Amino acid sequence: MTLAGLSRRERQIMEILYQCGKASASDVREAMSDAPTYSTVRALLRVLEDKGQVEHQNEGLKYVYAPVVNRDKAKRSAVKHLVDTFFRESPEQVVAALLDVSSKRLTDKELDRMAEMIEKARKEGR
């Protein structure tokens, strides 16, 4: 399951649900910048449920929504879509772009950790 086929508002709601873990329609609306009406948020949550992105549970008189796919799996899916769509399936180009936009903000510790991940991937690839 991917977030790629979602509208901007649907992605915004998914981001809120991933941050909160679960939330009611009113909780989601409160967390949104330039929030639409309450009924629009409820409608979007129903659409996300129909698309298999979220599920709900009854808690008292309200529905509480949670993502169906865990955050780590969703991140991997989003990165794969990004690589396939914008970087011609080249992880090297992704890393180059990340370093280009982030190099001034990366600490030595973060760079060392990335180097360790690359070395681990190199060893596991053989």
Q: Give the pLDDT score at 3.
A: 67
Higher pLDDT, 33 or 126: 33
* pLDDT score for 39: 97
**pLDDT at 2 > cutoff 80:** no
What is the gyration radius of the CA atoms in the chain, in angstroms?
18
The H or E element that residue 60 is part of is: none
| Contact indicator for 45, 27 with CB cutoff of 8 Å | no
Average pLDDT of the chain to the nearest whole number: 89
Q: Residue range 42-70: average pLDDT?
A: 95
Q: What CATH number should be reported for the domain whose range is 1-86?
A: 1.10.10.10
Does 56 or 74 have the greater pLDDT score? 56
Dihedral sign for Cα 115, 117, 119, 121, please: negative
The encoded tokens of residue 34 equal 């330039």
What integer pLDDT is reported at residue 12 of this predicted model?
A: 94
CB atoms within 10 A of CB 48: 24
Whole-number pLDDT of residue 113 = 92
- pLDDT at site 43: 97
Give the tokens for residue 106.
């990366």
Residue 89 in this model has a pLDDT that exceeds 70: yes
Query: Domain locations in the chain?
Result: 1-86, 90-126
Predicted pLDDT of residue 4: 67
Residue 1 has pLDDT above 70, yes or no: no
Looking at residues 38-48, what average pLDDT do you find?
97
